[in-house]
């Protein structure tokens, strides 16, 4: 693994500004083959492969995810919700949270 040693190293290869400019100008002008042509995808096959992933969230999944959260972590400055708050949600709030996640997932 490379480690930073903190010492300055000499530059071994110097290039001119013109060479640098020409190199990156050429990169910007590369022609893409088959531009705008996409392979046809059968969406029925894609949805069948992801059938398990596209299932709605369940309350048990939400509970498992919440219990895996670490305690004593800082809240987001946007919502100020601590993990401990989420881990101790009452059952009716778990149902609301689950419904909210499924609404967001569907949109």
**Type and span of the H or E element at 43:** helix 43-49
Residue 68 covered by a domain: yes
What pLDDT is recorded for position 26?
78
Over residues 65-83, the pLDDT tens digits come to 999 999 999 998 889 999 9
Residue 83 covered by a domain: yes
Tell me the mean pLDDT in the region 2-6.
59
Residue 15 covered by a domain: no
Residue 77 covered by a domain: yes
Residue 60 covered by a domain: yes
Over residues 12-40, the pLDDT tens digits come to 567 788 887 887 777 766 666 666 666 77
Range of the domain at 60: 56-106
As for how many domains the chain has, the answer is 1
Tell me the mean pLDDT in the region 47-74.
87
**C-beta separation of 105 from 61 below 8 A:** no
Residue 84 covered by a domain: yes
What pLDDT is recorded for position 84?
95
Residues 47 and 42: their CA atoms lie apart, in Å, by: 9
């Amino acid at each position: 693994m490379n480690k930073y040693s903190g010492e300055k190293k000499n530059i071994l290869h110097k290039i001119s500004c013109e060479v640098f400019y020409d190199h990156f100008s050429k990169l910007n002008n590369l022609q893409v083959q088959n531009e705008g042509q996409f392979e046809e995808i059968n969406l029925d096959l894609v949805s069948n492969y992801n059938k398990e992933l596209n299932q709605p969230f369940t309350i048990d999944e939400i509970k498992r995810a919440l219990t895996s959260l670490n305690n004593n972590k800082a809240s987001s400055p946007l919502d100020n919700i601590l993990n401990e708050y989420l881990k101790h949600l009452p059952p009716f709030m778990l149902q609301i949270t689950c419904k909210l996640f499924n609404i967001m997932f569907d949109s």
